[in-house]
Amino acid sequence: MNPSCNLFIVGPTGAGKTSIGRRLAEHYGLNFLDLDQEIERQCGVPVSAVFEIEGEAGFRRRESALLDECSHQRGVLVATGAGAVLDPANRRMLVERGFVLWLQATLEQQLERLAHDKQRPLLASGDRAERLSAMAQARTPLYQEIADLVIPGEHEHVHAASARSILLIDQHWKRQQAA
C-alpha cells in the first residue's frame, strides 16, 4: 500500500534516510533517489568537494534545484539531505508534492552511527556533539512543520527499522483512508 505517488524522507544526519529509504522504495515500488548522491553524480565529485569549492550556499542552491527536479517526478522516494528543510521553498515542495516521513534520531544515535564518518563537511571540524546539537535545534522545528508521519529512532538494525517504518506508514495510511 503506497500512501502517495511520492515519498520524501527528512531527518537529521545519521537517521538512516538512505538505508531505510532504499528498503521503503523497494517495498512500495518507487524509484529511489538520494539527493546527496544525485548531486555527486551530477557534479562528478563528492559533496565535500562541492562544499569546498562552492561553500554551503552553493551546495544548497544545487540541492534546491535538484529537489525541485526530483520532486516533480511521480513514483519516487527521495532521501533528502538533513539540511534540505532549511529553505522554505524546499519545505513547500516537499509538502505539496508528496508524503513526508521524518526519521528521528537522538544525539547519541547520531554520534554512534557517524563515529567513523569522515565525509560530511558540516561535521568535519569542531565538536561533533555540539555541531549536531546546534543543527537539531535549528532543524527539528522544520522537520516537525512538514512531517506527515514521524518515525521515532530506535536502536535497531536497518532491516528492523525498515520493517517498523513500513508498519507505521501502512497504519497511518489505513487510518487516513478510514477517516
- 44 carries a ligand binding annotation: no
- 174 carries a ligand binding annotation: no
Contact predicate 12/82, CB 8 Å: yes
Residues 6 or more apart from 18 whose CB is under 8 A from it? 34, 37, 79
Task: Give the span between the Cα atoms of 76 and 87, in whole angstroms.
Answer: 21
Length reported for the chain: 179
Cell numbers standing for residue 172: 497511518
Dihedral sign (CA 144, 126, 106, 103):
positive
- 75 carries a ligand binding annotation: no
Task: Name which of 8, 154, 153, 146 is nearest 67 in CA terms.
Answer: 8
- 13 carries a ligand binding annotation: no
- 4 carries a ligand binding annotation: no
SS3 for 9? strand
- 19 carries a ligand binding annotation: yes
Cell numbers standing for residue 161: 527499522
Is residue 75 classed exposed, middle or buried when 0-12, 13-18 and 19+ CB atoms within 10 A define those classes?
middle
Annotated binding-site ranges for Mg(2+): 18
Annotated binding-site ranges for ATP: 14-19, 120
Annotated binding-site ranges for substrate: 36, 60, 139
Annotated binding-site ranges: 14-19, 36, 60, 120, 139
